Structure 1
Amino acid sequence: MESQMEAQRKLLRQKEDEVAQIQQARSDLEKELALAKEEAHAHKRAMDAAKKARIPQVSELRKPENIWLPLDIQEIEDSPIPASPALTPVVQELVPTPTEPEGSHKEEDKRNAAEKEESPSMEPLMPSTDKGKQASSTFEMELKKYKASRIGKIKLGSQGLEVSAQGLGCMGMSAFYGPLKPEQDMITLIHHAIHNGVTFLDTADIYGPFTNEILLGKALKGGIRVKVQLVTKFANSFEDGKWVIRGNPVYVRAACEASLKRLDVDCIDLYYQHRIDTSVPIEVTIGELKKLVEEGKIKYNSLSEASASTIRRAHAVHPITAVQLEWSLWSRDVEEEIIPTCRKLGIGIVACSPLVRGFFSTAPKLVETLSNDDVRKQRNMLYHVVYARVNAEGEA
């Protein structure tokens, strides 16, 4: 008799532990769901407020299929749309669903029925599983919606490169936009972007200079490199206080080797000529980039702020995967010739500064909020935008 009672007590303790585990799992799921819902509500409130204030949103831009709209760090900070809460793990990563062999549920049901017959007095202690199953189904639906909100993938150009539809411009993390940001905070931000599906990371050797590439190299440690498409650029440098643009083969190769070392990678996914060196025929520059592709040091080559004629000449030497340029409600001159040329040649378009360096986020008050060492305050805002539109012919 005592052994039977001890067995029942042992069984009762096991059931209580199972109930506690279920309740804890449901509690964790409820917390995650509440965070996801709050993020959605906050985003909707911000969007509604922005519409009332007549502030243009990125979603209002007409975006062709293979256009990538990056946000740099300052635009994220200045945007009225709140960023997602700090790194929220996916619920299924916190509470993984155990895998069970086929038919195991039927066997478990039989065991439960047998236990119920043997211990009828324990029935009030056994929780009903119907509500639990219904709640689990609801949580799964919400999780699917949450995952569906992550950034998707698109084809960039016609050479086979696939990237996230939204990219992260990393320039402001290390240069030009005010004081230097804490390195660990920026690494956390990069990881947060990757966690949410943003895998197209944009940097350049001139950002810092050099420190932004080093930052990216640190952020991509621990197996993260294989999850992203890494973009960097060459051609710009400061020498004796002057801005110098170079595109000769020796410089191109040296710049690539240096970027690979700073990024601590074997290959760059997309390598831009940041600005066009008009003293060197574009065919010569692209010829060296072609060699780097053949050697496996870069996967795809591309241009930034190039004219339509330069794009056509470069593409004739070696396929250009993408062209980066400023394209927004503020800057639309590229629509006349450059955009049609890229589309005709099957070249992807990377539209940088869609929020005009934060101007569309905070409107005229932007300059008032900037620190004195912010390049946007040092120059007139309009001048800064025009300055960035230097094209292959050297026009501003």
Structure 2
Amino acid sequence: MTPTRITSVDCFVLKLSNDERYLGPTNEPANPTPPAGYAVRPPWRSIYSPRFETLLVRLTTDSGVSGWGEALAPVAPEVPAEVVRRLLAPALIGADPRHVRPIGVRLRDLMRERGHLGGHQADAIAAVDIALWDLAGRLAGLPVHELLGGAFREHVPTYVSGLPRPDDAQRAALAAEWAAKGVERIKLHLGKGVAADLATVDAVRAAAPQVRLAVDAHWTYDLAAATRLARGLTARGGIEFLEAPLAPEDLAGHADLARRTDLPVAVGEAMRHRYDVLPWLRQRAVGLVQPDVARTGITEAMAIAELAAAHHVPTAPHHSVALGVALAAGLHVSAAVEHLSCFEYQPTTTEVGQRILTAPLPGGPDGFAVPTGPGLGVEVDLATVSALAEER
């Protein structure tokens, strides 16, 4: 039997406009940071785009079968696209796409000794890895979760991420709307100061007392403030976890905070691979691991989840601004993870992300059905993607 080979690697850089922005209205300065309208959204430190930006990668074989992947690249997706074109594509052409993990190791090692296990290099590899799994599943006629060893669940539970409104009264009203629709868990995007954060929690709790809450502090606090916040949240009860309380590199600080609170400390979206996560698990600095499949790829997300399970820590995959391909990949991983907590549901992102698919993924605030078709189980609308792409 003649082996199947990859014959082409295509990149599609997308920057999609939408009436409602990710995480809602901003207080950005009148002259946003150039280029492309990127701006910091104080008190958060990262730059954000006014659009939904992403990188899609398509791998095609000599038999004409294609697989799709996506990188979480919310700003400057041109950068990982160039990594794919210049560094990864030459190593992919002629490879057998069914050898997903050996290919992944080969791609990882291309720049490993130069300190590029993470960052844009990892984002590019994540997109390729997802495309490889999609392609391998299509060639085998099996969904990705079957290739990963089988699904533990057919339905992936979710929590609603964010109440994108400008003040506590409007956030509380939106929480009440979600509660009326049966939503049981909501994560608040805060980090606005301990007193302000607790006031938001109180307002939302009063409007939707049956909803369990989580808090994402967006890496804004020092240890003393994070401790006060954690204790205030614990006193209120019904809090699922405290996410990203300290600077993302502060392993010791997170470990110290974890010893001071009964709340699970959640981290993981900034981590790209198992080597990032392992020391955090060993030092008990994390109580909930949140890999983003569009930053890790499927292979590393599963490795991270297995490491977490070995340390008796659940996994709750992160999902923010990536579109429908990344959503499908995250659902397959969530199905195949033994110790799953829940999956992040971004209402606006999910709506925007469905634009690139020929048919939407069924699901929403109450969870998603695990896709059952071959590969990722979704079909990318090539005509739409090609029309929207800024470059190929």
TM band (smaller chain)? 0.3 to 0.5
In proportion to residue count, which structure has more helix?
1
TM-score (norm 1): 0.36
TM-score (norm 2): 0.36
Q: Radius of gyration: which is bigger? A: 1
